[in-house]
Amino acid sequence: MLTLRERQINAIKQMLNLNSQQPKAMAADAVWKILIYDRVGQDIISPIISIKELRELGVTLHVQLHSDRDSIPDVPAVYFCLPTDENLDRIQQDFSNGLYDIYHLNFLAPITRSKIENLAAAALHAGCVANIHRVYDQYVNFISLEDDFFILKHQQSDQLSYYAINRANTRDEEMEALMDSIVDSLFALFVTLGNVPIIRCPRNSAAEMVARKLEKKLRENLWDARANLFHMDATQAGGGVFSFQRPVLLLLDRNMDLATPLHHTWSYQALVHDVLDLGLNLVYVEDEGARKKPKACDLDRNDRFWVTHKGSPFPTVAEAIQEELESYRNSEEEIKRLKTSMGIEGESDIAFSLVNDTTAMLTSAVNSLPQLMEKKRLIDMHTKIATAILNCIKARRLDSYFEIEEKIMSKQTLDKPLLELLRDAEFGQPEDKLRLYIIYYICAQQLPEPELERLREALQSAGCDLTALAYVQRWKSIMNRSPSISQATQYEGGGTRTVSMFTKLVSQGSSFVMEGVKNLVVKRHVNINLRLGSDRVKAKLIPNFLENLPVTKITEQVMECRSNAETDDYLYLAPKLLKGGDVLPKNRAPFQDAVVFMVGGGNYIEYQNLVDFIKQKQTSNVHRRIIYGGSTLTNARQFLKELSALGGEIQTPTAS
């Protein structure tokens, strides 16, 4: 069964094949073409189709729509962009200048009748009506970062951010446009999936606005016999992603949980995003050369190491890098040994036989050289990334922050008072201390004002900007007035209890011990053998019981159809029903598949928690799937900046 990302890739490949379904036998005879995209189109394509794959699809040139372009005759020009006024004006300008002989126009969102009439008038005026071969609405206006993870916007993502949704001076028409943008992308997502969902969401929230609009859009399309996009041909779509049962779309508001986006994380992918600003599966790492030019590292689905270890705890990744490097070195030594053994002297039958056998082995080894070189490239890349992360962990004491926040979120007693930690000048950066305080403030039930005042003074002394605290105070007061919401967002920790242990990381052939990085290890196994320098250390670990974040707990309740005071009150919208309503039906079967969407921005921490949760639920008879998405993807630094912007709009200077 195809994943969301695979279906989006197929849709874009068909578009690049000039929207004709080409038999596999003819795939080698690709038509040469030019791809012209806007920034949104570029963001959609770049994480899922590489430049090499574009070449294989016949794309000889790919350029920005608003760049200066020369006329190229006799080659089809494939446009891939939003039907905005700015983009349409530029397309009309291309018509007037006669840049291309063949135009294939593909719009990411449906183009309105008035706009297409204006486009047709411009083509008629330019005398190029015959040159326009195809005009398509593609319904792929979302960004697939993983098989089961998507976002709606990357560049200019502040338009759909938590700040944009919650700021005080948003006008009604701005909010309507923002919600319509989210709805259009979610509609495109379900057209791509080939399924109409049942929609669940909390009432009186931004998520409810999205849910109502999306249900209306789905219902109108379903009952339009000519324009129904969900009567998909089996040969064209291969059936929906969730073919045998309708999925549930769980729309949630970021306001349900402000602690998780600020949490110091421990998994590889989330750490890369938090520390190194991973964006569209691409991360830039400072090179250690004289120029120190940042090096681009592409973390895509073809990277076997990344696919295997992106959800692993960081020390496990460090161990895996060491093992991969040792495996590569063994292969390299084998080739060298075979080359040396080729120098056998004498013409005896034994020597001749040995040479023949060795030649065959050497030939096999040489044939594997391209794979070995690619393996070495990936090892070097991940070593570079892991070294950069390790340097940040050591400099900022991120392992200690992770352990302390886990204890706070799971209501455990801290080894040291929080005030002492915040006053420690060597304990992380001001941003880290502020994140820790906000998590403490959110998770604690009742805090005496004198204690809060001392903590805030310690933050100010550390150089923290306390603007965000005013908004967090207002948010918490609203949450406390909503007992059902407060109950649903009780924290249990991010999915692990920590244990002190050491491991080592390899850098360019030389190894060093991860001193001071003792907390970032998850208790998944009973016994583990680790090497600390030349010594072997046996660490006995207690099995970990998976602890779910608020989004995962709510997802479980909705998928299992469990009776719960908070989720029972969620809206229940079924666009396929002739008579619409929002009342929960009495007889409900558990859902096997879910799409969880966070209005206001998602993060890799929640994504990984959902991935771990669904793995625990898989059985030989039941296969469940969860797709996670967010209006944007923000790391802790970006989210803290949004909270500060919201706090700046409030007159109260600090939280109490």
DSSP string covering 191-243, please? HHHT-PPEEEE-SSSHHHHHHHHHHHHHHHHHT-TTT-SS---HHHH-S-TT-
Which pLDDT score, from 0 to 100, does residue 130 have?
Answer: 95
Q: Which of the listed CATH numbers 2.40.170.20, 3.40.50.2060, 3.20.20.70, 3.40.50.9100 matches domain 1-140?
A: 3.40.50.2060
Q: Could you give the CA distance from residue 119 to residue 252 in angstroms, rounded to a whole number?
A: 39
Mean pLDDT computed over 388-413: 93
Q: Which of the listed CATH numbers 3.90.550.10, 3.20.20.370, 3.30.750.24, 3.40.50.1910 matches domain 142-257+549-655?
A: 3.40.50.1910
Contacts of 607 (CB under 8 A, 6+ apart): 146, 149, 628
Q: Taking the alpha carbons of 321, 326, 330, 333 in that order, is the dihedral positive or negative?
A: positive
Which pLDDT score, from 0 to 100, does residue 504 have?
Answer: 36
Q: Could you give the CA distance from residue 11 to residue 204 in angstroms, rounded to a whole number?
A: 36
237-241, 300-304, 420-424, 642-646: which range is least confident on average? 237-241
Q: Could you give the CA distance from residue 385 to residue 393 in angstroms, rounded to a whole number?
A: 12
Fold agreement between 1-140 and 142-257+549-655: yes
User: pTM of the entire structure?
Assistant: 0.88
Which pLDDT score, from 0 to 100, does residue 483 have?
Answer: 59
Tokens, residue 180: 């319509």
Q: Could you give the CA distance from residue 390 to residue 433 in angstroms, rounded to a whole number?
A: 19
Helices (H), 523-632: 550-560, 604-617
Q: Could you give the CA distance from residue 294 to residue 286 in angstroms, rounded to a whole number?
A: 4
Please give the C-alpha separations between residue 473 and each of 65, 257, 345, 404, 656, in angstroms, as whole numbers. 45, 14, 83, 22, 7
Mean pLDDT computed over 515-535: 37
- What order of strands is seen across the sheet that includes strand 33-37? 59-64, 33-37, 76-81, 102-107, 132-137
564 or 141: whose pLDDT is higher? 141
Strands (DSSP E) contained in 240-293 are: 248-253, 282-286
Mean pLDDT computed over 138-156: 96
Give me the phi and psi of 371, to 5 degrees please. Answer: -65, -35
Reported as a pLDDT band with limits 50, 70 and 90, residue 223 is confident
Per-residue pLDDT at 273 exceeds 70: yes
Q: Could you give the CA distance from residue 12 to residue 2 in angstroms, rounded to a whole number?
A: 15
Which pLDDT score, from 0 to 100, does residue 492 have?
Answer: 63
Reported as a pLDDT band with limits 50, 70 and 90, residue 582 is low
Per-residue pLDDT at 410 exceeds 80: yes
Largest CA distance in the chain: 94
Q: Could you give the CA distance from residue 310 to residue 605 in angstroms, rounded to a whole number?
A: 12
Give CA torsion, residues 480, 482, 484, 486, to 10 deg: -30
Per-residue pLDDT at 541 exceeds 80: no
Which pLDDT score, from 0 to 100, does residue 359 have?
Answer: 63
CA 553 to chain centre: 20
Crossing angle (nearest 10°) for helices 467-480 and 430-443: 20
Mean pLDDT computed over 390-407: 94
Reported as a pLDDT band with limits 50, 70 and 90, residue 566 is confident
Tokens, residue 214: 């999306």
Give CA torsion, residues 564, 566, 567, 569, to 10 deg: 110
Tokens, residue 351: 């020597």
Q: Which helix (H) or strand (E) holds 592?
A: none
44 or 26: whose pLDDT is higher? 44
Per-residue pLDDT at 290 exceeds 80: no
Which pLDDT score, from 0 to 100, does residue 562 have?
Answer: 84
Reported as a pLDDT band with limits 50, 70 and 90, residue 372 is confident
Per-residue pLDDT at 519 exceeds 70: no
Which pLDDT score, from 0 to 100, does residue 193 have?
Answer: 93
Strand partners, 111: none
339 or 440: whose pLDDT is higher? 440
Per-residue pLDDT at 530 exceeds 70: no
Which pLDDT score, from 0 to 100, does residue 333 have?
Answer: 81
Per-residue pLDDT at 510 exceeds 60: no
Which pLDDT score, from 0 to 100, does residue 316 have?
Answer: 93
Kindly list the domain boundaries of the chain, sorted by start residue.
Answer: 1-140, 142-257+549-655, 268-343+357-396
Contact 99/72 with Cβ under 8 angstroms? yes
Reported as a pLDDT band with limits 50, 70 and 90, residue 80 is very high
Mean pLDDT computed over 111-140: 95
Per residue in 31-59, pLDDT (tens digit) is 899 999 999 999 999 999 999 999 999 99
Which pLDDT score, from 0 to 100, does residue 224 have?
Answer: 83
Average pLDDT of the residues of the chain: 84
Mean pLDDT computed over 492-511: 39
Per-residue pLDDT at 309 exceeds 80: yes
Mean pLDDT computed over 272-282: 95
In 3D space, the residue among 495, 548, 549 whose CA is nearest the CA of residue 524 turns out to be 495
244 or 2: whose pLDDT is higher? 2
Q: Could you give the CA distance from residue 263 to residue 255 in angstroms, rounded to a whole number?
A: 15
Mean pLDDT computed over 91-101: 96
Per-residue pLDDT at 518 exceeds 60: no
Angle at 281 between CA 77 and CA 383, to 5 degrees: 135
Looking at domain 268-343+357-396, does it have CATH number 3.40.630.30? no
Reported as a pLDDT band with limits 50, 70 and 90, residue 587 is confident
Block residue for tokens 């007159």? 651
Per-residue pLDDT at 259 exceeds 90: yes
Q: Could you give the CA distance from residue 95 to residue 83 in angstroms, rounded to a whole number?
A: 16
Strand partners, 199: 249, 573
118-132, 278-292, 400-414, 481-495: which range is least confident on average? 481-495
483 or 403: whose pLDDT is higher? 403
Per-residue pLDDT at 158 exceeds 60: yes
